[in-house]
Amino acid sequence: MPKQRAPIRMPRSRTEAFSDGVFAIAATLLVVEVHVPDVHQPGLAGTLAHALREEWPSYAAYAVSFAVIGIMWVNHHATFDRVARVDRALLFLNLLLLGVVAFIPFPTAVLATYLRYGVDADSRTAAVFYSLVMLAAAFAFVLCWSYLGRHQDLLREDVEPHAARVALRRSWVGVAVYVVTIPVALLNPYLALATYAGLALFFVFAERPARDADD
Amino acid sequence: MPKQRAPIRMPRSRTEAFSDGVFAIAATLLVVEVHVPDVHQPGLAGTLAHALREEWPSYAAYAVSFAVIGIMWVNHHATFDRVARVDRALLFLNLLLLGVVAFIPFPTAVLATYLRYGVDADSRTAAVFYSLVMLAAAFAFVLCWSYLGRHQDLLREDVEPHAARVALRRSWVGVAVYVVTIPVALLNPYLALATYAGLALFFVFAERPARDADD
Amino acid sequence: MPKQRAPIRMPRSRTEAFSDGVFAIAATLLVVEVHVPDVHQPGLAGTLAHALREEWPSYAAYAVSFAVIGIMWVNHHATFDRVARVDRALLFLNLLLLGVVAFIPFPTAVLATYLRYGVDADSRTAAVFYSLVMLAAAFAFVLCWSYLGRHQDLLREDVEPHAARVALRRSWVGVAVYVVTIPVALLNPYLALATYAGLALFFVFAERPARDADD
Amino acid sequence: MPKQRAPIRMPRSRTEAFSDGVFAIAATLLVVEVHVPDVHQPGLAGTLAHALREEWPSYAAYAVSFAVIGIMWVNHHATFDRVARVDRALLFLNLLLLGVVAFIPFPTAVLATYLRYGVDADSRTAAVFYSLVMLAAAFAFVLCWSYLGRHQDLLREDVEPHAARVALRRSWVGVAVYVVTIPVALLNPYLALATYAGLALFFVFAERPARDADD
């Protein structure tokens, strides 16, 4: 009677509903940090058209973070789709992951703000900070899959034993990828932004073989 | 066994729940950009009643964008109602659409801000910017239906073959309509705002025949 | 076959999910307008304790608007619980209602801001503005029930014919109540705030007979 | 026929969906109060790296409040998991609880702001204010379980009679714990922040026996 000994009665569906809510809100809140330029402010000159073009780092950071949160939502679903029941530890590992995801609007806003000032120490710092938060999110997936690998009774019966190992290995790839973006951020924060965008596009377009491997 | 060969196990229901969340949050976040007038600020004069009346472009932009997001939500539902299963490409086309919808509060705030200053180059820019974002949203629907037209196996079995063609054609009408608002925005941004409102009212009240055609 | 001739395939469940989202977000966004007092700002004096006490209108307005949105959510549920299917007109009447509900954080912030300055023309304006938005929300319920009364085929089969009339009459009571708060707001905005709170408490504690009458 | 005499037809599922929404939004809104440091502002010096480190109270307050809201969500679920039907009083007690939870971003922002200025009267006030709001949330759980204890017919049939007493006693423990944090806050607000974090960690890691007792 594995279902009756469940130590906490949180059904997977309600965990998913709460998680979907956090992912959807975090993605939608990103726009709050894109500010209306005030060209009528004393001391400022130029047209709105110019000011809107100057804000391109905000749009780029918005697009990249929206894509990243969307991809993490897809990954989150792929993870919980294999889970049969949620115990207390998995519940709090999931909250840890959600806490990092919900924080993403902040490093996004920092990156968008400091990319406006060109390549300097501060824009490098902003890009490293962004990389570190992404790293934390990737690591939260590692923690989830590491725990699921050690508690395979939480997984659905039709999930093959090696699936958790494959998923854990792929989570570590996510960590490694964001570790690599740190020296890129130190070199050139614009290149780092392009790298984040490229990683998102790579995941969307090119990851099919890896996905098939463990499906 | 078309369901078992689904390359990604994202059920339509969870895609819809996430999408509903983004639509609902984007619509509700619009109010964050309606600012409380501070008539006690040094240098400002006049009553609150006057200041609240002066803010009419914010209310109008709020109402129009709320209606537009609501209409897009209805369209989104009509689209996914015909989908039997969601593959990876459709998932990311949907994320692209949601990313544009979640961005709408920004051009709305830009339009509301610059409509206060009368017809000038900046208010024209603001209206063109609003038109361009709407155009992007309409085009995301084109991409979804273009993909669905080429992958009819994703559609429900009771959806007739020509339905995707009709829906695609209607999505292009949405694109065309927002292309037409660009010269209107260049002519007079207030007229553009009235046009956006008129388009929303037209969709709500007058679209029945077109809708019946593909139902 | 009343279900097959439904002119739009929006199920009640997805309309409710979207509506629940808007109600929950509007209620939770209220807190964004409660601002952290900055007692370290040059020119300001006093302790944080003093500043937090001075902000009481913000807390009161938060509590009243949260309660009002919660009560409207309960009413909204009671309305849609009787609906068997949602047609296009009801869908857009519902969007109209949601648009007013999602706007509530703005008059709440205006009221909280101007109640700080004592009874003057501006705080009276703020209270009248709050009453007008509540009036608009109450009127949106009238429109919904007026439409449902004229399209009883949208209601569930076990809903008695006079139920729509009773619900419509009760919606008009909501309108009348908020009309009455307008002269109160002109007299004294603090009294108006107390009236809004009293109305919410009355609904919570005293409305049982009216509710039983149409259940 | 206990289900047919239900005085209000709000199903548990829709109450949970609305509550999940408020919890998810309140948790995700916390990030809005973490502000981008503007090191290019005239009069400010130092690097972004320095400014980001200086903001540690914001990150700590974010993490603690996210964990607290997450824990309250788990508790909320554990409460409503035992509820068979929701009557009018429980509906409004739940709204009271949600109203306090949705308010948490404000004391969090106050605490984060004033912890930057070291131990003084204002940072003590900020920590006491935070404790009081947590106390109010804990007390709202007491009200819910006190009501459920007096209306056991609302509980599921398989919930043992003493379960409500155990849950009520545990809710009072939550109140007592936050009462104890008030003198800690008066002593040293940083110690209070560490205490809030410790309480959250204690709940996550150490509460198993208590949980088993009433499961």
Q: Are A138 and A178 in contact (CB under 8 A)?
A: yes
Looking at per-residue confidence, does C205 or A106 come out higher? A106
In this structure, what token pair is assigned to residue A165?
């190992």
Q: Are D33 and D108 in contact (CB under 8 A)?
A: yes
**Average model confidence (pLDDT) across chain A:** 87
The dihedrals phi and psi of C83, each to the nearest 5 degrees, come to -90, 130
pLDDT tens, B86-96? 888 898 999 99
Select from C16, C54, C53, C55 the least CA-distant residue to C34. Answer: C55
Q: What is the DSSP letter of D115?
A: G
Give the separation between CA D204 and CA D136, rounded to whole angstroms.
Answer: 21
- In this predicted structure, the answer to whether residue D81 has a pLDDT above a threshold of 90 is no
- In this predicted structure, the answer to whether residue A215 has a pLDDT above a threshold of 80 is no
Looking at per-residue confidence, does A204 or B68 come out higher? B68
Q: Is the dihedral of CA B163, B166, B168, B171 positive or negative?
A: negative
In this structure, of B193-202, C115-124, D159-168, the range with the lowest mean pLDDT score is D159-168
Q: Are A152 and A164 in contact (CB under 8 A)?
A: yes
Looking at per-residue confidence, does D88 or C137 come out higher? C137
Tell me the nearest-neighbour CA distance from B127 into chain C, angstroms.
Answer: 22
With beta carbons under 8 A apart, name residues in chain B contacting C121.
47-49
Q: State CA A112 to chain mean position distance.
A: 17
Q: Residues with Cβ < 8 Å from C43, sequence gap 6 or more?
A: none
Q: Which of A16, A28, A39 is opposite residue B14, by nearest beta carbon?
A: A16
Say what the pLDDT of residue C42 is. Answer: 65
Residue A83, beta-bridge partner list: A155
Planar angle of CA D160, D163, D169, nearest 5 degrees: 165
In percent, the amount of chain D with pLDDT more than 90 equals 60
Exposure string for B99-114, b = 16+ CB within 10 A, e = fewer = bbbbbbbbbbbbbbbb
Q: Which residue does chain D place closest to A9, by CA atoms?
A: D78
Q: Does A29 touch chain D (CB under 8 A)?
A: yes
Give the separation between CA D93 and CA B156, rounded to whole angstroms.
Answer: 44
In this structure, what token pair is assigned to residue B58?
């914010």
Q: Does B13 touch chain C (CB under 8 A)?
A: no
Q: State CA A205 to chain mean position distance.
A: 17
Select from B33, B25, B104 the least CA-distant residue to B65. Answer: B104
Chain B stretch 71-90, residues whose beta carbon is closer than 8 A to a beta carbon of chain C: 73-74, 77-78, 81
Say if the Cβ atoms of A48 and B110 lie within 8 Å: yes
Q: Which residue does chain C place closest to D10, by CA atoms?
A: C77
Give the separation between CA D132 and CA D107, rounded to whole angstroms.
Answer: 9
Q: Are D207 and D177 in contact (CB under 8 A)?
A: no
Q: Please give the average per-residue pLDDT across A37-52, as a whole number.
A: 81
Give the separation between CA C209 and CA C186, rounded to whole angstroms.
Answer: 32
Chains touching D (at least 3 CB pairs under 8 A) are: A, C
Q: Which of B21, B30, B31 is opposite residue C21, by nearest beta carbon?
A: B21
Say if the Cβ atoms of D28 and A102 lie within 8 Å: yes
Q: pTM of the entire structure?
A: 0.90
In this structure, what token pair is assigned to residue B7?
């390359």
Q: Are C8 and C88 in contact (CB under 8 A)?
A: yes
To test the contact with chain B by mutation, choose from A19, A31, A35, A208 the residue with the greatest count of B C-beta atoms within 10 A, namely A31
Count the alpha carbons within 13 Å of D94 in the hemisphere toward its beta carbon: 30
- The band of D215, judged by pLDDT with boundaries at 50, 70 and 90, is very low
In this structure, what token pair is assigned to residue A195?
């790298």
Select from D73, D71, D66 the least CA-distant residue to D32. Answer: D66
To test the contact with chain D by mutation, choose from C14, C34, C36 the residue with the greatest count of D C-beta atoms within 10 A, namely C36
Tell me the nearest-neighbour CA distance from D29 into chain C, angstroms.
Answer: 8
Q: Does B44 touch chain C (CB under 8 A)?
A: no
**Can you give B50-81 as a three-state secondary structure string?**
HHHHHCHHHHHHHHHHHHHHHHHHHHHHHHHC
Q: Does A13 touch chain B (CB under 8 A)?
A: no
Say what the pLDDT of residue C49 is. Answer: 92
- In this predicted structure, the answer to whether residue B3 has a pLDDT above a threshold of 70 is no
Q: Which of A67, A81, A208 is opposite residue B9, by nearest beta carbon?
A: A81
Tell me the nearest-neighbour CA distance from C20 into chain D, angstroms.
Answer: 6
With beta carbons under 8 A apart, name residues in chain D contacting C24.
18, 21-22, 25
In this structure, of A127-141, B25-39, B151-165, D122-136, the range with the lowest mean pLDDT score is B151-165
Looking at per-residue confidence, does A7 or A212 come out higher? A7
With beta carbons under 8 A apart, name residues in chain B contacting C186.
none
pLDDT tens, A127-179? 999 999 999 999 999 999 999 999 988 998 888 878 889 999 999 999 999 99
In this structure, of A92-96, C138-142, D78-82, D195-199, the range with the lowest mean pLDDT score is D78-82
Count the alpha carbons within 13 Å of C138 in the hemisphere toward its beta carbon: 20
Say if the Cβ atoms of C212 and D7 lie within 8 Å: yes
pLDDT tens, B80-126? 888 988 888 898 999 999 999 999 999 999 999 999 988 899 999 99
Chains touching A (at least 3 CB pairs under 8 A) are: B, D
In this structure, what token pair is assigned to residue B113?
């801000």
Tell me the nearest-neighbour CA distance from B209 into chain C, angstroms.
Answer: 11
Q: Collect the ranges in chain C with pLDDT lower than 70.
A: 1-11, 42-45, 206-215
Q: Residues with Cβ < 8 Å from A101, sequence gap 6 or more?
A: A22, A23, A26, A69, A72, A137
From residue A124, alpha-carbon distances to A138, A181, A207 in Å are 21, 11, 29
Say what the pLDDT of residue D14 is. Answer: 79
Virtual torsion, Cα D42, D44, D46, D51, nearest 10 deg: -120
- In this predicted structure, the answer to whether residue B134 has a pLDDT above a threshold of 90 is yes
Token look-up 């208010």 returns B123
Q: Please give the average per-residue pLDDT across A48-75, as a whole number.
A: 94
Say what the pLDDT of residue A9 is. Answer: 55
Q: Is D101 exposed, middle or buried (0-12, 13-18, 19+ CB in 10 A)?
A: buried
